[in-house]
Amino acid sequence: MRHGYLQFNAHSRARKLARGAAKRVRASDIVLGMMLATLVVWLIAYAFIHMVTPV
């Protein structure tokens, strides 16, 4: 009986860890997306400035 309880406990703990990992992946995806969006905006602004101002 005790062994079954420990197995169940480990299973639920693994599920919680997996859920936390999924949330962390989602958060890192959001951060990566924001970084890429910032980079694209910066490149567009850089290109626009260099097209407008004669160098």
* Domains of the chain by residue range: 1-54
| Residue 41 confidence (pLDDT) | 98
Ranges of residues in the chain with a pLDDT under 50 are none
Buried b (16+ CB within 10 A) or exposed e, 7-25: eeeeeeeeeeeeeeeeeee
| Residue 36 confidence (pLDDT) | 98
- What is the pTM (predicted TM-score) of this model? 0.52
**Cα–Cα distances in Å, from 12 out to 6, 7, 9, 34?**
10, 9, 5, 33
| Residue 39 confidence (pLDDT) | 98
Amino acid, single-letter form, for residue 35: M
| Residue 20 confidence (pLDDT) | 75
- d(Cα 29, Cα 33) in Å, to the nearest integer? 6
